[in-house]
Structure 1
Amino acid sequence: MDKYYTGSSIDHRSVPRLTFLSEVEMKGDSCIQTTMAFMSIVSLCFSLYFLLSTFRLLHSIPSRSDIRYLQYGKPNHTFASDDVPLYFPSQAGLASMYIEESVHYSFDGAGYDEWWIGDAEGNGTIRLGPSNRLFFISFWHQLHCLRMMHAALKANAASLDDLFHAEHCLNLLRQWVLCHADTSLEPGDFIKRNFKYDLGNQLHVCHDWDTLYVEASRNWHEWVHVWQLKNFNATTESSL
């Protein structure tokens, strides 16, 4: 078997100190060097991937101004065309609610009327912007659709318009449920429960709807005041 030696030159006075390597040893060293080089490349790739992922994560976290824009829109909307906020500027926080069955809100008698009472003044319509542009809060649109569905189920015969309205409401309610996607866990099978004795009593985290009622009613009263003042001024000017 051929022999290879290492060293830049040979000193004949120190021949016993020369180191000779076999082909197997040379190949082994070469494999080790190749493996280490490959591991270095892999390590570098993982490091670059980690840095890139961290960079993307940091840039994907919305700032406080971004969050405020998503909640209320930009601070200086013109309220012309589509230049409007996405949400009603409410200060309502979170609230807890136990979802349970109820003897109220039935199809007959006082239970039927309960579906139509206790609403905010203005029925969820609000006015925003310098020209008091009209908007409808989705929360009240959802309640409206539930009431329409309740009325359609109670009616002995529904007109074609009622059926179209019910179809519209069913589709919107389906999308609203998907939008909120409540992941709260409910124990047991609600179909097998006796609703008269087993009310469910499942805790959910919700938006504070009481505050929203107050704010929407306040907005309505402010608009009524502006409307009355505008009509008063118009009447006064016409009488001069």
Structure 2
Amino acid sequence: MYRPLVITSLSLELVLDFVDGYPIRPSIFHSVYHTMAVSLRQIAIAGVLSLSLFLVFYARVNVSKTAQKADSRIAWKMLSEGVAVWDIGQLPTVIMDLENTVNYQVNSTPSTNAQWAALYPHEGIVRLGSDSKPFLPSMFHQLRCLDIIRLAYVAQEENLTFHDESASWKARDEHYHDHSDAPDVPGVVEDPLARHCLNYLREMLLCRSDLNLESVQAMGPGDPNIHAVSFRRAQTCQDWTVVYDKLSELSEEMG
């Protein structure tokens, strides 16, 4: 980074030697020659200094760009002991309309599975630091867990019986609604990974404690069970697309 300074210092010395050696003739034009020599000296100094500043600025900009590109995988920091965050800067906000969708169904089909998998590209793993250490950001962890629970539910919807071969998971759930007399048979939460995900999502929901109020009503005539049925109005959210863009950049760098 300091090499341009050395080169320009040598250049300045050579130019000044030339100017200092400019022949000053004792004649009626002595003052003219003297003025020209002084002017050349000033121009040379200004030119060399300008070139020096340009080269230093150019070198620093290139070093900065190189460092920025090299540091894109080191964008994480420790908040406290054992607590780290993927540091991609403050996320901008966007308006999100909450509504029903025909996408992200529960059933397991190639198109449905592809939609869910696209929510956590590359399994949601980001590799950070000079040693490309793998991490799973909480956002992708939660989305991945939703998919794991979905697949566990689908698997048992298709295969589980509790009294006879005709009993479905829905029938079992309705029969043991309060779970007080539920038999000791495998359920969705008996899958170790699904059980982990169910507990993890529970903890994340409690941790974030969203207190927005939503309207509720009975699920049907005479049904004592009530549930939130009205969707919220459009609300302000963090722009999750920025997170996906950053993950894509990391994946490209990793090849």
The structure number with the bigger radius of gyration is 1
- The answer to which structure, 1 or 2, has the higher relative contact order (CA under 8 A, 6+ apart) is 1
